[in-house]
Amino acid sequence: MVEALLQTFLEDCPGRFAALEKAVQEGDAKAIESAAHAFKSGSGTIRASVLAERLGFLEAAARAGNLESIVVLLDQIRAEHLAVLRELRTTLYQA
**pLDDT (tens digit, 9 = 90+) per residue, 56-95?**
999 999 999 999 889 999 999 999 999 999 999 998 888 5
C-alpha–C-alpha distance, residues 55 and 78, integer Å: 10
C-alpha–C-alpha distance, residues 23 and 21, integer Å: 5
pLDDT at position 25 is: 95
pLDDT at position 95 is: 54
All structural domains of the chain, each given as residue ranges with its CATH number in brackets, are: 2-93 (1.20.120.160)
What digits encode the pLDDT tens for the residues 12-68?
999 999 999 999 999 999 999 999 999 999 999 999 999 999 999 999 999 999 998
